[in-house]
Structure 1
Amino acid sequence: RKLHKDEILELYLNQVYYGSGAYGVEAASRTYFGKPVNDLSLSEAALVAGLPQRPSAYCPHRNLQAAMRRRDIVLDRMAKLSYITNTQRDKAKREQPTIEPKIDSPNGWKAPHFVAYVLAQIKQRYDDDFLRDSGIKVYTTLDYRMQLIAEKALRDGITRNSRSLHVKEGCFVCIDPATGYVRAMVGSVDPKSEFNRCTQGRGRQPGSAFKTFVYAAAIEAGMTPFDEIVDEPVSFQGVGVKLWTPSNYDRKFHGVVTLEQAFVRSINIPAIKLADQVGIDNVIRIAKAAGIQSELEPYLTTAIGGVRGVHPIEMASAYGTFANGGVHVEPISVLRITNWRGDTIAEFATTATRAISSEVSQTVDYLLRQVVADPTGTGHRVNNVPEARGKTGTTNDDRDAWFVGYVPGKLVAACWAGNDDNSPMRRAFGGSLCAPIWQQFMLEAIRLHDAAARDRQHRSSGRRRSSRRAMGFHKYAGTDAEARGGVSARGGCWCPHRVDVSTASAYPWQADRIPAPGDRD
C-alpha cells in the first residue's frame, strides 16, 4: 500500500541512527536521557531531533557541546515555523541536559558474560565501526529465564558457603545437548567481573569429573560395569626416575570392587589402573572426541583430572555427548545476524559428529545415572531431579569443586567453584557445594524446558516450529532498557533435529549379565 508522508517520516525516525548504538527515536531517548520519548522536555526532544544529521559528530556521549549547538538550531527553526514561541525557545536553550552515562563495559548488560562471549565472536567477523554504526541485530541461543535461574542458583550457593567453606568464586553454564545451544552462562559470582570463568583463562583441574572419559575408554575396550578391579596400593613410573604412588580421597583401600562401584563412589585407584590398562592415549582420544579442547598430557595423572585445566563449557559440552547417545554437537551461541532492515547477513549452524559409539555412550550413561541414583553415589544429592545423571569432581586440597550432569534429551550443565588465587577451600566437595547449585538450577530449568515443549506441541498441532531469542548491541524503537542489558526476549528457541536418547533399562552389556537382587554390593 502507499504510505502517507507522515507514516514515512515515522518509519524513518524509528529506524534512523542517533549515535551510541541507538536506532530509533525511542531508543535514543532512553540511551541519552533514560526515559521514554513521551517524557522528554522540549529541550531534550530538540536535542534528539538534531542528531540524525551527523549522529557520530553530534553524539552527546562524545561531544555534548556540539549536540547542544545542534539543539539550538532545531529550536530556532521550530520558533521560526511557529511550532513554539520565542519564550519557549529561549527557556529550552537555557536548559542544561543531563545525559545518561554510556555503557561501555559488560557491567550494565543483562547476562554480561554471555554477551561478552558473543561479542568476542562477532568481533572476529566485523570491526568496531561496523558494530557501532550498522544497526545489526544478533539472534542468540540464550534463554533469559534460565539465565536468571542460573545466576540466582550460583550466587545463592557460593554466598551461602562463602565463609564456612572459604569459597569466593564459581561459574555455571548450561547447554541443550541435542542442538549445542548455550542456554545460560554465568561466568562469575560477581556480575561486575569481566573475567568469564566458563570460557576464559587456562581453565581449572576437573578432578574426578574427568573419570567419565576413563570409563568410556574401558567400556570401549570391552569391559562392563560388573567387571571387577582391585583397589589396592600401587605405584607407577612417574616423570623421570620418580615413582608415583596415588591414593584415594579417603586415604583407604576398598579391595575388590566392580567398575560400577568404583565409579559411583569415585575411587581413584581403579580409574588410574583402568587408564593404565587401556592406555592413557585412548582416554585422551575419547575426551577430545567428546568435546574437550584443552591440552591433555599423556600421563596417568590425567585419569583423575590432573591436567593443567579445562573450561566448564568444555566439560558441559563433553558430557552432552553422552546425553546425546555418543553424538557430539559443538556449542553454539549465535544463530543469525540481521542488518537494520531485517535482512539476514550471516547464519550459524551447529555441527554434529559421531564421537563415541551408541553402545559405549549408553553404558556410560548408565554409570552416570548410578552416581545419582545409588545412595552411596557422590552425586546422590541431586536424585530428586528426575532422570538426572552426573559426576562430581574435587581436586587436591579442595582447590576445585565440580558437578557436571544432564537430563537426557533436555539439558546438560556444569558448575565449578573455587578461588581465583587457587587457595584451598575448607572441605568443599563437588557433591556438597556444586551439586546443590546444579540441583537448584535443574529443578526450575527442566520445568521451563518441559513447559515450552508442551506449549510448542499444542500450538503447532503436531508440526514442529522454531522461535528464537534475539540479543542486540543496538537500540531500536519500541524497546526500553533492554538496550542497557543487550538482551531482548524474543520467545524460546528450539531446534527440530533433536536426538532422542533411550532411557530403557536394558543396556547392551546386560544381555547375559543382569545380577540377582543384592549381588552388587
Structure 2
Amino acid sequence: MDRDKNLKRKILESIIAIKLERKFSKDEILDFYLNQIPYGSNAYGIESAAQTFFGKRAIDLALDEAALLASLPKATTFYSPYGNNQTALISQQKNILRQLVTLGLADEKMIKEALGIDTLKKIIPPKKNIQAPHFVFYVKEFLEKEYGNLDLETEGLKIYTTLDYDMQRRAEESVRQGVENNKKYGANNASLVAISPKTGELLAMVGSKDYFDSLIDGQVNIATSPRQPGSSFKPFAYAKAFEKGYQPETLIWDAPTNFGPDGSGKNYIPNNYNGNFSGLVSMRQALSSSLNIPAVKTLYLAGINETIDLAESLGISTLENRSRFGLSLVLGGGEVKLLEMTSAFSVFANDGEKNQLKVIQKITDQKGNIKKEYSNESKNVLEKEVARKINSILSDNSARSAVFGSNTPLAFKDYAVAAKTGTTQEFRDAWTVGYTPNISVGVWVGNNDNTPMKYGSDGIFVAAPIWRNFLNKELPNLPKENFGSYEKIVSSKSMITGNVSGEIKYYKIASGKKISEDKSKKYKASEVRQQIEPEKHSILFYVNKDFPLGPELPNYNDPMFVRWEKGINQDFEEGIFDFNPIN
C-alpha cells in the first residue's frame, strides 16, 4: 500500500485486517504489533526497546521495567525516560501495574514490590549521537501532539525547523563555559534560549549544560521547566502601569512599607536587596535599579490580575491559579518558563507585536511534497508606546549604574540592548533576559534539584556573563538597529510627569545616606545623587490609582493610602484630607 490516506487505502486496510484475524490469533497479532511499533529513541518493537532502555532482552524484563515500556507507545516523546515528563511517565507506569491486579494478571505482593522500585534509575543513558537534543525532543513532542506517532515514526516525514545550527553550537559553547566559571558559585547547570522578535522563530535552545549528564539531570529541559524568575518579572508590572497612564518619569517613594497581611497571617514588609532605601525615585530609576518596594507599589497600582492578564497576552502560561499570587508576584513569586519569558520579552523588542513562537518551517513527505507549511502568526498585544517605554528603561545603562555600576555585562557601547536580571530567594535561580530589535535571549543558571547556589549568586554575576558571551558572538551577525523613542505626555499632574518642585537633597550613592550640600561638593559628581524632595506624600495622595491621568479624585479610603503614607512619615495620622496636588 502507498502512504496516502484515502478511501482506497482504508478499504485495503480493512481487507488485510479481516485476513489477519482469520489466520492468526489475537495474541499472535498482538505479538506482531508489539514487535513493530515505535517506543521512541529509534527503538521499534519491544525487543529493541528493552535493549535500548534497559540493555537486556525483552524476556528478561522485570515487571516494573515491562510496565514502563508499556507506557511509551501512547506518546513516545512525551513519555520518553530521557525527556521532561518523567513524573507523568511514572504515573502511567503505576497505573498499568495497578491494572494488572484489577485484571487478575498479577498478585498484589508482586505489584507492591514493583511499585516500590525506582525504575528510572535502571534506564541506560542515551547514546551521544543526537545534535541539539533538547530542541529535537521539543520539536518531536510538538509533532506528536499534531500528527500522532504513526505519521511521525513511520511515514518518512522530513521536518524543516527554525534552528540556526551554527548559532546553536555557539550557544552550547557559551553555556558550557559559563557553567565551568560558575562552579565557584555552586551552580552546576544553565539554560539558554534565543528567539527572533521579528518572526517568532526559535533559533537556539540549550536545555542544560549537557543532555547526556545524568548527574545534573541533563535530560530535563530547563528552558521549558517552570522556575521562579525573581526580578525579571518586574517589567510586566511596569508595562501594565504604563498602559494605565503612569510614565517612566512618574515618581514613587522607595521607603519602608508595611503592605499588610499577605495571606499567611503575616504582614508583607519587603526589603530592597541592598537593605537601603532611595526615597523619591522615578519609575525609570526604580525598574532600572531593580528596587523592590517601588516594584511592589507599581504592581498594586497596575493590579495583580491585570498584570497577569498582560503577562499571559505576552505568552506566559504558568500563572493559571491566580489565588496563589499576591503582591510578591512582582518579585518573582510565580513560576515561569525560560522559553516563554524570552518570547514575552521579544514582544517589547518588536514594539508590542507578538509573533507566535515558531519551531517548524515546513514538513514534506517522502516524495518531497509539502505536507504543511507554517507561516508566521503575529498579533498586536501591547501598545507601541508602552513597549518603547520598557525598552528605553531596560536599555538605560546610566539609570541602572547607581546600583549595578556602569561597567556590567548589561552595558553595550555600540548596540542598543535592553536587559533585566533576576535572582530568587536563597539564590536558587539566577536569570538574565534581554534583547535587541533582532534577537531575544534568555539565560537561567542554577541547579535542577533546586539546591541553593552560594550567597551572592545574583543574576548579574552568574547568568549575565553567559548571556553577554553569547550576544558578543551574535550581534556582529545581526543588523544594527536602535529602539524607537516614546513620546512624553503632557499633564498637570506633576507626580506623574516627574516635574515637581521642592528642596534639593543630596545622597551619597554608595551608602544611600543623605548628606549636606557642602559635603556633596567634596565628592565626585558620579558619587552623589541629587533629588528634589517635594511635600512628603505618596502618589496615592495625588492621583486615583486606576485613572492616574483622569479627573477622578484620589481614594483616601484605599487601605494602601495610609500604609504608604506611614512608610514615608511614621507620624502620619489618618484623617479627612482635601485633595492638594503638587504645584
State TM-score, norm by structure 2. 0.59
Equivalent position of 2:57 in the other structure: none
1:354-396: CA deviation from partner (whole Å, max 9, x where unpaired): 1111111111111111158753364942323611111000111
Q: 1:208 aligns with which of 231, 234, 238?
A: 231
Q: Does the CA contact (< 8 Å) of 1:180 and 1:329 recur in 2? A: yes
Does structure 2 conserve the Cα–Cα contact (< 8 Å) formed by 1:234 and 1:246? Answer: yes
Alignment check: 8 A CA contact 1:106 1:194 kept: no
Q: In the aligned structure 1, how far is the partner of 2:157 from the partner of 2:286?
A: 52
Residue 141 of structure 1 corresponds to: 162
CA–CA distance in 2 between the matches of 1:60 and 1:357? 50
Superposed counterparts of 1:133-212, under 5 Å? 133-162=154-183, 164-192=184-212, 193-200=218-225, 203-212=226-235
1:61 offset after TM fit, Å?
Answer: 8.8
Query: SS state of the match for residue 244, structure 1?
Result: coil
| Distance in 2, Cα, partners of 1:157 & 1:136 | 37
For 2:298, the equivalent position in structure 1 comes to: 274
Report the alpha carbon displacement of residue 206 of structure 1 after superposing the two structures with TM: 0.4
Give deviations 1:119-154, integer Å, cap 9, x for gaps: 111112334343333221101100001101110111
Secondary structure at the counterpart of residue 145 of structure 1: helix
**Distance between the aligned counterparts of 1:372 and 1:148, measured in 2?**
33
Change (3 A) 1:134 1:272: same
2:399 and 2:359 mapped to 1: Cα distance? 32
Q: Given that residues 284 and 399 in structure 2 are in contact (C-alpha distance below 8 angstroms), is that contact kept between their aligned partners in structure 1? A: no
Match of 1:420 in 2: 448
**Which residue identity does 1:337 align to in structure 2?**
I
Distance in 1 separating the partners of 2:251 and 2:223: 37
Give 1:117 shift: 0.3
What is aligned with 1:503? Answer: 483
Check whether the contact 1:264–1:378 (CA below 8 A) recurs between aligned residues: no
CA distance in 2, matches of 1:291, 1:302: 17
Contact 1:217 1:286 in 2 (8 A): yes
How do residues 188-337 of structure 1 correspond to structure 2 at under 5 angstroms? Answer: 188-192=208-212, 193-200=218-225, 203-236=226-259, 237-239=261-263, 241-295=265-319, 297=322, 298-307=325-334, 309-337=335-363
- Is the Cα contact below 8 Å between 2:187 and 2:445 reproduced in 1? yes
In 2, distance between residues paired with 1:129 and 1:520?
68
Q: Which has the higher contact order (CA 8 A, sep 6+)?
A: 1
Offset, 1:247: 1.1
Contact 1:106 1:112 in 2 (8 A): no
What corresponds to 1:52 in structure 2?
A: none
Question: CA shift at 1:340, angstroms?
Answer: 1.1
| One-letter amino acid of the counterpart of residue 370, structure 2 | T
Superposition deviation, residue 107 in structure 1: 3.9
> Which residue of structure 1 aligns with residue 567 of structure 2?
none
State the SS of the aligned residue for 1:108: coil
Distance, in Å, in 2 between the alignment partners of 1:275 and 1:129 is 48
| Separation in 1, partners of 2:447, 2:276 | 28
Aligned to 2:534: none
C-alpha distance in 2 between matches for 1:332 and 1:371: 32
State how far apart, in whole Å, the 2-side matches of 1:105 and 1:264 are: 44
- Match for residue 546 of structure 2? none
Listed as ranges, the gaps of 5+ residues in structure 1 are 1-55, 65-102, 454-500
- For normalisation by structure 1, the TM-score amounts to 0.66
Q: In 1, are the aligned partners of 2:289 and 2:399 still within 8 Å (CA)?
A: no
Residue in 2 that maps onto 1:387? 416
* CA gap 1:413/1:235 in 2 versus in 1, 3 angstroms: same
The CA distance in 2 between the partners of 1:252 and 1:287, in whole Å, is 29
Q: Which moved more, 1:288-297 or 1:145-154?
A: 288-297
Mark the runs of 5 or more structure 2 residues left unpaired by the alignment.
1-35, 49-123, 213-217, 492-496, 500-524, 532-583
Distance 1:243 1:345, change over 3 A: same
The letter for the 1-side match of 2:280 is: V
Residue of 113, 129, 133 corresponding to 1:112? 133
State the AA in 2 paired with 1:301.
S
Deviation at 1:350, TM superposition (A): 2.9
C-alpha contact 1:229 1:270 (8 A) present in aligned 2: yes
* Partners of 1:419 and 1:258 in 2: CA distance: 36
Distance in 2 between residues matched to 1:143 and 1:178, nearest whole Å: 15
Q: Which amino acid is the alignment partner of residue 174 of structure 1?
A: A
Q: Does structure 1 residue 349 correspond to structure 2 residue 375?
A: yes
8 Å contact 1:214–1:274 — kept in the other structure?
yes
Change (3 A) 1:60 1:357: closer
CA contact (8 A) 2:230 2:333 kept: yes
Deviations 1:14-68 (A, max 9, x none): xxxxxxxxxxxxxxxxxxxxxxxxxxxxxxxxxxxxxxxxxx89x999899xxxx
Q: In the TM superposition, what is the alpha-carbon distance from 1:213 to its structure 2 partner? A: 0.6
Runs of 4+ aligned structure 1 residues displaced above 6 Å come to: 59-64, 510-515, 517-521
Quote how far apart the aligned CAs of 1:169 are. 1.3
Q: How does 1:41-80 map to 2 (within 5 A)?
A: none
> How far has the Cα of 1:447 moved from its partner?
2.3
Distance 1:354 1:175 in 2: 18
SS in 2 for 1:243: coil
Distance 1:353 1:372 in 2: 33
Find the aligned partners of 2:404 and 2:222 in 1 and give their Cα distance: 24
Q: In structure 2, what residue type is equivalent to 1:108?
A: N
Q: Distance in 2 between the 1:107 and 1:386 partners?
A: 38
Which residue does 1:498 correspond to in 2? none
Measure, in 1, the Cα distance between the counterparts of 2:398 and 2:356: 26
Code of the residue aligned with 1:331 in structure 2: it is L
Corresponding pairs, count: 373
Identity of aligned residues (%): 34
* Secondary structure in 2 matching 1:375: helix
Shift of 1:341: 0.8
Aligned to 1:122: 143
Closer/same/farther in 2, CA of residues 277 and 128 from structure 1, 3 Å limit: closer
